[in-house]
Amino acid sequence: MPFIKTRDGTDLYVKDWGQGRPVILTHGWPLNADMWDAQAMALAEAGFRAIAYDRRGFGRSGQPWSGYEYDTLADDLADVMAATGATSDATIVGFSMGGGEVARYMSRHGGRGVIAAGLISSVVAYLLKDDSNPDGVPAAQFEQIKAGIKEDRARFFHHTFVPGFFGVGWVSSPVSQEVVDYSTSLALMSGLKGTLDCVDAFGKTDFRPDLPAFNVPTLIIHGTADKTVPIDPSARAAHRGIAGSQLVEYDGAPHGLNVTHSDQLTRDLLTFLGR
C-alpha cells in the first residue's frame, strides 16, 4: 500500500517496513520520508513496524493547494495511522517540522492509540520571537527563507539551507558533499506552494497550548549547535512543558543529527522504545 488517501482526498506516499509495534515517523521540512531510512531500517530489524510517509506537498505525495496548517497535517497523520491499521500501541516520532504534527495530534486527536512520543530536532514548543518568547527566531528570518525559495529554490536549498541543516562550515563539515547533494534532491521534490506555506506553519505556530496533551512517555532529542531550530525555544521549552518528558541534548550537534549522529539517534530511539 504505497499510497493512502486522506479525508480530503489527498494521496500520501507511505513506506511501511517490518512487523511489530508500530512507530510512525514524520519528516522535516523540506525533505520527505527517505530522511528516516537509516532509523526505519534499524527499527524494522529490531522487531518494530516503521511507518514513514511523505507530508502532503512533499516527496511523492499529492500537492494540493491547501491544507498546510497543523490541524490538517495532524488529520493526515491520523489518516495514515487509520489506513495502515497502526491505531493501538503506537509511538509517533516527529523530526523538526514533523514534531508539530505529533504535538497537534496529541491535542486534536487526544493521542488516540499512542503509547509514546518522540520530538527530534523539533520545532515544538514555539519558534517565533515575540514578547512571550524572547528566545525565538525573528519573523524576518522566515520571510528571508521564503524570499530565497521564490528567487532561486535550487540555489537556496543547495548553498544555504541544506549546508546549515548539517552544520557545514567554511573549513570542516560533518557530512560529505554527496549528502548535501542528496538532501537537496529530496528538498527539490517538494511542491512550491506547500514549501512556502509550511514555512509559516512551522515558523509561526505556537504549540505551547498542545503540550499538556502529552500524557505518554516522551523523548526529546536536540543538538546544542542547531542553527536551524535553536534549542532554547524548542526542545528545552518543550521539556519544561511536557510533564515527565526526557530531554537528551547532543553536544555540538546540528539540526540534521539524523545523519551526523545517526547511530546515536538510533540507539537512543531503540532504548526509549524498549522501555
Q: Are the C-beta atoms of residues 179 and 35 closer than 8 Å to each other?
A: no
How far, in Å, CA of 211 to CA of 201, rounded? 17
Does residue 66 have an active-site annotation? Answer: no
Peptide bond into 2 cis (omega under 30): no
Query: Buried b / exposed e across 241-268, counting CB within 10 Å, b at 16+?
Result: bbeebebbbbeebbbbbbbbbeeebbeb
From the candidates 226, 239, 245, 268, give the one annotated as an active-site residue. Answer: 226
C-alpha cell at 156: 537556496
Residue 169 CB neighbour total at 10 angstroms: 11
DSSP letter at 120 equals E
CA separation (Å) from 178 to 35, 104, 162, 181? 14, 34, 12, 5
The answer to whether 158 is a known catalytic residue is no
Residue from 96, 107, 122, 234 carrying the catalytic annotation: 96
Q: Is 96 a catalytic residue?
A: yes
From the list 27, 222, 239, 255, the catalytic residue is 255
Distance CA 261, CA 53 (A): 22
Number of helices (H), then strands (E), belonging to the chain: the values are 10, 8
Radius of gyration of the chain from Cα atoms?
A: 17
Residues with catalytic function: 96, 226, 255
